[in-house]
Structure 1
Amino acid sequence: MKKIRYPALERKWYRCPKCGTKLAIFDNATKCNGLYIKCRTCKEEVEINI
């Protein structure tokens, strides 16, 4: 039996854990592991694990 994939129902911002700046927008169907983004405000490198 196949699983039914539902559309994205909720979108959220991923925020920097140090300063709270909005870095990326994602929805509830997102799976991310080991993505590194540099924060434009505090210049820290942040690993995203969703």
Structure 2
Amino acid sequence: MSSDTITLELDKYESGVVFHSLKDKRNQMLKEGKREKIRSLSMMF
């Protein structure tokens, strides 16, 4: 596993798009009963 770090600089609009996309993905995964995967998704950020 690599320990490289990537940093993204997002403006207000871009960060909103990322936030809402993650929220939508989380809600979809909750409906599918994939709670364990939600934690790993949130730990990426």
Using structure 1 for the length normalisation, give the TM-score.
0.23
Q: TM-score, normalised by structure 2?
A: 0.25
Higher Cα Rg: structure 1 or 2? 1
In terms of fraction of residues, the more helix-rich structure is 2
- Greater per-residue strand proportion: 1
